[in-house]
């Protein structure tokens, strides 16, 4: 069983930010976004692209400069939720002390930057590190936490998470097949196989990987105890970074998404997280109150292990707000066929559709965050809402971005607006965090379970009255109807 976190009211209070301080935090964050993030977006992208031409990928200079500033302004580690912070013991004090509900608001503000993760990277709130840090906080031993969690929280190193494999459908985590064998003599695991799409692995700042793989290859063992999660230092011999995978033609340097070959990669037995065969348990916990930063690390629901936590959905809402804001300015400036765009009915329909969709997404996200805070991740309604949010928010934001692009005309697909990036980001998210269909499948299965205790369940259908007969085949018709039938047959 996953260790249960018993959190006393005293501990909660000690790690939680009170309302006034939270309002102050939001104000300071908005100020920082305006003074340092938005004005540097183009520079950040340019410096990142310059990195693509060689193989020694490191943070861009502007990222490092802004990280220093964010840290000094205490706009740092806001992601680490109260419960994970408590689990991490004294190291939890390095977290921001926010509830999931509070972090939902922070994430939306961070998400108004483009590229989506720019502000999150600057403030040490970016995937896959956030999810990895939560796993270490909740399941790491004191030694594992000291070695990896502390430098991650300090922003001195980065991490990656390796689950997806080219040869199997990885949206079903039970398919994961990379082999992790035991060498009893040397007390080491030996890893052989291949992974791909491993975000962050190519950065030279990335020092640690959490790898999900098969420690029990027998075909008759319990399927949900066949996988383990293991800490693999990135400088372990036998790891070959083969190539960065492109998303829509971009290699996303210097973070990137790598295809990786593992050839006799050896790590100590002590590197296993939580215990051998408990990989799925970690995934289940990773969805936990650590994260309705609603949509990305390791949501485990039936057969799904998503790689991220829920932060992406929150950020996606920020992206939609940015797109709508640009669009509302544009329609008041341009004219066609004698009218301002803002007077064209279809444009007005598009704008109000965007607004209602953003509001609905936000309500879903906030509701899920509250459920995470109040009931935890094992609650059935929480789990269902998380799945729905993960499927619904990215595709809705994609539709919103699409509308905004259309209203901008040619400019909408150009480099002069962030709209194309927003559109592509939402599109990629619909796969990167586990495909839409898998989240919807999970939500539907949970719905079938929830319906079993619905107060509406036993109401049933209306009872048909089968005592009365409409008419029989050999029943004579009335003379008037017969006349009409005869007239019709003469036509």
Ligand X SMILES: Cc1cc2nc3c(=O)[nH]c(=O)nc-3n(C[C@H](O)[C@H](O)[C@H](O)COP(=O)(O)OP(=O)(O)OC[C@H]3O[C@@H](n4cnc5c(N)ncnc54)[C@H](O)[C@@H]3O)c2cc1C
- Count of residues for the chain? 491
Tell me which of 58, 169, 242, 363 binds ligand X, using CB under 6 A.
Answer: 169
- Write the interaction track for ligand X spanning residues 424-453; mark x where CB under 6 A is met and - where it is not: ----x--xx-xx-xx--x------------
Among 40, 102, 123, 164, binds ligand X (CB under 6 A): 164
Q: Does 246 bind ligand X (CB under 6 A)?
A: no
Q: Which two tokens stand for residue 220?
A: 């008759």
163 near ligand X, rule: CB under 6 A: yes
Residue number, 99 or 228, with CB nearest to ligand X: 228
Nearest-approach distance from CB 307 to ligand X, in angstroms: 4
Q: What is the 3-state secondary structure (H, E, C) of 89-127?
A: HHHHHHCCCECHHHHHHHHHHHCCCCCCCHHHHHCCCCC
Number of residues that bind ligand X (CB under 6 A): 22
Residue closer to ligand X (CB basis): 15 or 161: 161
Burial class (CB in 10 A: 0-12, 13-18, 19+), 203: buried
- How many CB atoms within 10 Å of residue 277? 18
**Residue 374 Cβ vs ligand X, minimum distance, rounded to whole Å:** 29
Contacts of 294 (CB under 8 A, 6+ apart): 104, 107, 310, 311, 312, 313, 314, 365, 368, 369, 386, 389, 390, 393
Kindly state whether residue 247 participates in binding ligand X, applying the rule CB under 6 A.
Answer: yes
Residue 283 or 327: which CB sits closer to ligand X? 283
* Residue 176 or 361 having the CB closest to ligand X: 176
In degrees rounded to 5, what are phi and psi of residue 292? -95, 50
Q: How far is the CB of 117 from ligand X (least distance, A)?
A: 11
Q: How many CB atoms lie within 10 A of CB 271?
A: 20
145 — alpha (psi -120 to 50), left (phi > 0) or beta? alpha
Residue with tokens 């398919």: 175
* Minimum CB–partner distance for residue 13 and ligand X (Å): 35
Contact between 336 and ligand X per CB under 6 A: no
> Judged by CB, which is closer to ligand X: 96, or 200?
200
Closest to ligand X by CB, 255 vs 330, is 255
Shortest reach from residue 172's CB to ligand X, in Å: 6
Residue number, 431 or 483, with CB nearest to ligand X:
431
Tell me the C-alpha distance between 27 and 104, whole Å: 15
Shortest gap between Cβ of 310 and ligand X (angstroms)?
Answer: 15
Residues 6+ apart with CB under 8 A from 277: 215, 216, 225, 226, 227, 228
* CB of 83 or CB of 433, closer to ligand X: 433
Task: Return the structure tokens found at 36.
Answer: 């340092």
What string marks each residue from 337 to 376 as x (binds ligand X by CB under 6 A) or -? ----------------------------------------
Whether a cis peptide bond, with omega within 30° of 0, leads into 128 is: yes
Distance separating alpha carbons of residues 315 and 105, to the nearest angstrom: 9
Tokens linked to 206: 């990335």
CA-wise closest residue to 268 among 385, 147, 447, 377: 147
Instruction: Rule CB under 6 A: say whether 418 interacts with ligand X.
Output: no
Question: What's the rounded Cα separation, in Å, for the pair 116 and 127?
Answer: 11
Long-range CB contacts (< 8 A, 24+ apart) of 7-10? Answer: 7/82, 7/83, 7/86
Cβ-based nearer residue to ligand X, 96 or 434: 434
Answer for which of 171, 226, 284, 377 binds ligand X (CB under 6 A) is: 171
Cβ closer to ligand X: 164 or 377?
164
Considering the complex, state which of residue 294 and residue 438 has its C-beta at the smaller distance from ligand X: 438
Which conformational region is residue 123 in: left (phi greater than 0), alpha (psi within -120 to 50 degrees), or beta?
alpha
Other Cβ atoms less than 10 A from the Cβ of 89: the count is 11
HSE at residue 460, side-chain half, CA atoms within 13 A, is 4
By CB under 6 A, which span of 137-145, 156-164, 265-273, 344-352 interacts with ligand X?
156-164
Site mask, ligand X, residues 178-217, x = CB under 6 A? Answer: -------------------xxx------------------
Question: Which range of residues in 74-82, 90-98, 157-165, 363-371 is near ligand X by CB under 6 A?
Answer: 157-165
Facing residues of 262 across strands?
Answer: 193, 239
Q: Which of 58, 104, 138, 113 lies closest to 314 in space, CA to CA?
A: 104
Range list of H helices, 163-304: 279-286
Min CB(342)–ligand X separation in Å = 36
118-147: which residues touch ligand X (CB under 6 A)? 128
CB of 416 to ligand X, least distance (A): 24
Which of 45, 257, 367, 392 binds ligand X (CB under 6 A)? It is 257
Which of 159, 170, 228, 229 binds ligand X (CB under 6 A)? It is 170
Name the minimum Å distance from CB 357 to ligand X.
Answer: 22
- Single out the residue of 214, 291, 307, 362 in contact with ligand X (rule: CB under 6 A): 307
Q: Which residues bind ligand X (CB under 6 A)?
A: 128, 161-164, 169-171, 197-199, 247, 257, 307, 428, 431-432, 434-435, 437-438, 441
């Amino acid at each position: 069983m996953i260790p249960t976190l018993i959190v006393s009211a005293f501990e909660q209070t000690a790690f939680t930010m009170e309302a006034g301080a939270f309002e102050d935090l939001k104000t300071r964050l908005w100020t920082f976004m305006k003074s340092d993030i938005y004005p540097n977006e183009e520079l950040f992208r340019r410096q990142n692209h310059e990195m693509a031409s060689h193989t020694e990928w490191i943070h861009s200079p502007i990222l490092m400069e802004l990280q220093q500033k964010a840290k000094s302004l205490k706009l740092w580690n806001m992601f680490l939720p109260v419960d994970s912070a408590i689990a991490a013991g004294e190291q939890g004090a390095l977290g921001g002390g926010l509830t999931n509900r509070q972090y939902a608001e922070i994430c939306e503000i961070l998400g108004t930057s483009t590229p989506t993760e720019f502000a999150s990277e600057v403030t040490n709130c970016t995937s896959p590190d956030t999810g990895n840090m939560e796993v270490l906080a909740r399941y790491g031993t004191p030694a594992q936490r000291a070695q990896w969690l502390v430098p991650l929280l300090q922003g001195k190193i980065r991490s990656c998470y390796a689950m997806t494999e080219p040869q199997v459908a990885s949206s079903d985590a039970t398919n994961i097949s990379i082999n992790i064998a035991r060498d009893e003599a040397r007390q080491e695991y030996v890893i052989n196989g291949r992974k791909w799409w491993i975000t962050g692995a190519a950065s030279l700042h990335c020092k640690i990987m959490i790898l999900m793989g098969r420690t029990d290859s027998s075909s008759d063992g319990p399927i949900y105890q066949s996988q383990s999660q293991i800490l693999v230092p990135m400088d372990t011999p036998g790891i070959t970074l083969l190539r960065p995978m492109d998303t829509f033609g971009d290699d996303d340097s210097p973070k990137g998404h790598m295809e990786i070959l593992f050839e006799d990669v050896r790590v100590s037995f002590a590197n296993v997280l939580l215990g051998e065969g408990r990989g799925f348990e970690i995934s289940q916990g990773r969805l936990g109150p650590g994260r309705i930063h609603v949509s990305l690390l390791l949501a485990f629901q039936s057969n799904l292990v998503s790689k991220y936590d829920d932060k992406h959905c929150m950020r996606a809402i920020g992206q939609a707000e940015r797109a709508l804001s640009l669009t509302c300015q544009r329609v008041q400036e341009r004219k066609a066929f004698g009218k301002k765009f803002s007077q064209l009915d279809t444009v007005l329909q598009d704008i109000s559709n965007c607004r209602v969709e953003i509001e609905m997404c936000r309500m879903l996200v906030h509701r899920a965050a509250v459920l995470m805070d109040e009931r935890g991740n094992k609650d059935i309604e929480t789990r269902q809402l998380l799945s729905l949010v993960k499927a619904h928010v990215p595709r809705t934001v994609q539709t919103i971005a699409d509308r905004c692009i259309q209203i901008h005309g040619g400019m909408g697909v150009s480099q002069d607006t962030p709209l194309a990036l927003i559109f592509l980001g939402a599109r990629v998210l619909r796969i990167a965090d586990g495909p839409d269909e898998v989240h919807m499948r999970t939500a539907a299965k949970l719905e079938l379970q929830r319906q079993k205790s619905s107060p509406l369940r036993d109401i049933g259908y209306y009872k048909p009255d089968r005592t009365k007969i409409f008419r029989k085949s050999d029943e004579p018709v009335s003379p008037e109807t017969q006349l009409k039938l005869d007239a019709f047959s003469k036509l």
